[in-house]
Amino acid sequence: MSNRRVAGPEIERLIQLLAKVPGLGPRSARRAALALVKKREALMVPLAAAMTEAAAKIVVCSNCGNIDTLDPCSICRDERRDPGLLLVVKDVSDLWALERSGVVQSRYHVLGGTLSALDGIGPKDLSLDRLVARAAEGSVKEVVLALDATVDGQTTAHYVTDLLAGLPVKVSRLAQGVPIGGELDYLDEGTLAAALKARTPM
């Protein structure tokens, strides 16, 4: 394949930038660019406006690390949420997943990552000082570590548990087991072992 310029510089630049969006590669960026150009008024113009507006308005919550147009964010401001429970998550995407589930009636703390020797992510790279400060502040009774069931996630969970050991808060983590709708013969051995170990009476 030659590097012959296919379209004008405006389209080439649009394709290059779209290719940097997670979920779009070089090939799908071209397809997306073409669709945007075709749906100019219905999609491209409104999307550009939405991005410009989001870029201007969105801030990171200085309390929990969530992203919102308010600081503190609307979750931290929500008086109906239980101040006794604090869910520690890796990333804003995990916070969104938990919010979508509708089962959380308390607040969050976004670490901004998990410890990873491989990726060179150490304790200094995570929002841990702020977590300790929030846990020590008095109203929090229990910290739930809602972290990935991966090596990095569990390493981080143990690190945070140690970090909070001196404080008068309970530390727990999400249960591990068979996912709802999960078929046993498609599950890995680790999940089956964890589910068996944590079996509950009928």
- Is 68 within 8 Å of 87 (Cβ atoms)? no
**Alpha carbon distance 180, 39 (integer Å):** 39
The token duo for 23 is 């979920």
47 binds a copy of itself (CB under 8 A): yes
CB of 147 to a copy of itself, least distance (A): 18
Select from 11, 163, 174, 187 the one that contacts a copy of itself (CB under 8 A): 11
Q: How far apart are CA 123 and CA 107, in angstroms?
A: 22
Please report which residue ranges of the chain form alpha helices under DSSP H: 9-18, 26-38, 45-57, 74-77, 92-101, 128-136, 151-163, 189-197
Least distance from C-beta 98 to a copy of itself, angstroms?
A: 9
For residues 51-110, which are near a copy of itself according to CB under 8 A? 51-55, 57-58, 67-70, 74, 91-93, 95-96, 99-102
Please say which residue, 70 or 194, places its beta carbon nearer to a copy of itself.
Answer: 70
Give the range of 4-12, 133-141, 149-157, 187-195 binding a copy of itself by CB under 8 A: 4-12
Long-range contacts of 163-169 (CB under 8 A, 24+ apart): 163/128, 163/131, 163/132, 164/131, 164/132, 164/135, 167/132, 167/135, 167/136, 169/135, 169/140, 169/141, 169/142, 169/143
* Contacts to a copy of itself from residues 171-200, by CB under 8 A: none
Using CB under 8 A as the binding rule, the residues of this chain from 123 to 162 that contact a copy of itself are none
Binding footprint of a copy of itself on the chain (CB under 8 A): 1-2, 4, 6-8, 10-11, 13-14, 17-18, 20-24, 28-37, 39-40, 43-55, 57-58, 67-70, 74, 91-93, 95-96, 99-102
